[in-house]
Amino acid sequence: GQQVMQIPQYQHVQEGEDFTTYCNSSTTLSNIQWYKQRPGGHPVFLIQLVKSGEVKKQKRLTFQFGEAKKNSSLHITATQTTDVGTYFCAGLGKLIFGQGTELSVKP
């Protein structure tokens, strides 16, 4: 069945450093969504990517969808303490989540 792998599992950065998490699917995805879960909270939708090679930006966050629609990445420029949380990618059909990348930011 469809599997979505996400790396790294944990990332500790100094405030101001960049951060990237990668998502890889065993099958071609129709689209991919990204979510953020703050500690003690629930996942919150960030963005959806649909087209092969698509790049979308939200302020300091840059999302990419691979040409083959089997991988995706989220890059955060100049992390801030407010970026702390776990970032999940999720592939559709069923919304299958990757294991998430937990980001901690040291001030």
Partner 1 sequence: KAGVTQTPRYLIKTRGQQVTLSCSPISGHRSVSWYQQTPGQGLQFLFEYFSETQRNKGNFPGRFSGRQFSNSRSEMNVSTLELGDSALYLCASSAQDRDYGYTFGSGTRLTVV
Chain residues that interact with partner 1, rule: CB under 8 A: 1, 33, 35, 41-48, 88, 92-100
CB atoms within 10 A of CB 14: 9
Question: For the chain, what's the residue count?
Answer: 107
Single out the residue of 56, 38, 25 nearest to residue 103, CA to CA: 38
Residue (17 or 62) nearer to partner 1, CB? 62
Tell me phi and psi for residue 75, to 5 degrees.
Answer: -120, 130
CB of 41 to partner 1, least distance (A): 8
The DSSP bridge pattern shows strands 10-14 and 101-106 to be: parallel
CB of 9 to partner 1, least distance (A): 9
Residue (44 or 78) nearer to partner 1, CB? 44
Token output for 83: 């970026």
Residue (45 or 52) nearer to partner 1, CB? 45
50 with 31: CB under 8 angstroms?
yes
CB of 16 to partner 1, least distance (A): 28
CB of 98 to partner 1, least distance (A): 7
Residue (26 or 78) nearer to partner 1, CB? 26
